[in-house]
């Protein structure tokens, strides 16, 4: 038998006034208690309007405080309310399951203790960049990494596919430092990228709009000049491939009988 008390984890998307899904709104509205880790004041206003029992968990961040301590405290705060028998809704920005430790951890702790727990999808930064930058992952494929993880684990990637690097503005920064840009690590990133890309190959610094009044930031930057770029805590780096790097394996094309498909695809690419 499942216990009294439950957890629903939802995301707000990135843009105020448009990205909060109907099911997320309903989850917030119908909860006994809402916790949110959200900094956009318009979205905070919307959450509080939907449910007066909403409380921030962003107060757990502290300058210089290790992020993992903050995240554990978020899980504790969420789980304390679930254990009290409340229907709890935890709200995170973007997609709640994309680069959010506390959301996944809360769900696994709740389930391990016998509570019902579920996550609803939201609109992530990657969803926004597919739309704003006109990138379809069907075309060359798409690889997504957290920038510090990408560097320290020597992630093996393929420059023939789009490369998305999250948290490029806070490489190596495990302590929370607010919105201050942290240049540490960018030089190492450039060094590593130059093993695969020519210095003049262009990436895009991307920041999705957080408010209908503003346009997204979509700033081209040569890989070799990346260390001089103005990155923030919300910057995502996108490196599209050069189309000429994609060359089909004709042996495999023949085995699959896809000669015409390859010809049509090449013709489409010329248009």
Instruction: Give catalytic residues, as residue numbers.
Output: 67, 71, 93
Residue whose CB is less far from ligand SAM, 119 or 190: 119
Map residues 115-154 to x or -, x wherever contact with ligand SAM holds by CB under 6 A.
Answer: ---------xx-----------------------------
SS3 136: coil
Region for residue 99 given its phi and psi (left: phi exceeds 0; alpha: psi -120 to 50; beta: otherwise): left
Determine, following the binding rule CB under 6 A, whether residue 106 of this chain makes contact with ligand SAM.
no
Binding part of the chain for ligand SAM, among 38-46, 155-163, 193-201, 229-237 by CB under 6 A, reads 229-237
Determine, following the binding rule CB under 6 A, whether residue 77 of this chain makes contact with ligand SAM.
no
Among 167, 185, 204, 231, binds ligand SAM (CB under 6 A): 167
Sign of the CA dihedral running 183, 13, 240, 152 = positive
Determine, following the binding rule CB under 6 A, whether residue 238 of this chain makes contact with ligand SAM.
no
Among 6, 148, 162, 236, binds ligand SAM (CB under 6 A): 236
Query: What is the length of the chain?
Result: 271
Determine, following the binding rule CB under 6 A, whether residue 207 of this chain makes contact with ligand SAM.
yes
DSSP letter at 65?
-
Question: 88-106 burial, b if ≥16 CB within 10 A, otherwise e?
Answer: bbbbbbbbbbbbbebbebb
Region for residue 204 given its phi and psi (left: phi exceeds 0; alpha: psi -120 to 50; beta: otherwise): beta
Among 9, 54, 75, 94, binds ligand SAM (CB under 6 A): 94
Please state the closest distance from residue 220 (CB atom) to ligand SAM, in A: 15
Determine, following the binding rule CB under 6 A, whether residue 206 of this chain makes contact with ligand SAM.
yes
Give kind and range of the element (H or E) at residue 144: strand 142-146
* Cα–Cα distance measured from residue 114 to residue 130, given in angstroms and rounded to the nearest whole number: 38
Give 26's contacts (C-beta < 8 A, 6+ positions apart). none
Residues that bind ligand SAM (CB under 6 A): 14, 93-95, 98-100, 124-125, 166-167, 206-208, 210, 233-234, 236
């Amino acid at each position: 038998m499942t216990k009294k008390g439950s957890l629903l984890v939802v995301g707000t998307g990135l843009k105020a006034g448009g990205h909060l899904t109907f099911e997320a709104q309903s989850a917030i509205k119908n909860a006994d208690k809402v916790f949110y880790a959200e900094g956009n004041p318009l979205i905070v206003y919307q959450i509080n309007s939907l449910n007066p029992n909403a409380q921030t968990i962003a107060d757990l961040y502290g300058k210089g405080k290790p992020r993992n301590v903050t995240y554990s405290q978020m899980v504790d705060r969420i789980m304390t309310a679930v254990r009290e028998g409340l229907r709890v809704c935890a709200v995170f920005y973007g997609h709640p399951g994309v680069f959010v430790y506390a959301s996944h951890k809360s769900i696994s702790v709740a389930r391990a203790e016998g509570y019902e727990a579920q996550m609803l999808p939201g609109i992530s930064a990657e969803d926004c960049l597919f739309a704003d930058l006109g990138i379809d992952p069907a075309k060359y494929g798409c690889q997504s990494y957290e920038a510090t993880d990408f560097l320290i684990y020597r992630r093996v990637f393929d420059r023939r596919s789009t490369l998305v690097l999250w948290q490029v503005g806070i490489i190596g920064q495990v302590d929370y430092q607010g919105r201050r840009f942290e240049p540490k690590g960018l030089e190492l990133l450039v060094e590593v990228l130059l093993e695969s890309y020519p210095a003049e190959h262009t990436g895009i610094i991307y920041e999705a709009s957080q408010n209908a009044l503003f346009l997204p930031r979509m700033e081209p930057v040569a890989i070799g000049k990346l260390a001089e770029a103005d990155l923030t805590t919300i910057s995502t780096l996108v490196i599209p491939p050069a189309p000429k790097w994609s060359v089909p394996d004709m042996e495999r094309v023949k085995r699959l009988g896809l000669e015409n498909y390859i010809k049509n695809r090449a013709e489409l690419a010329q248009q």
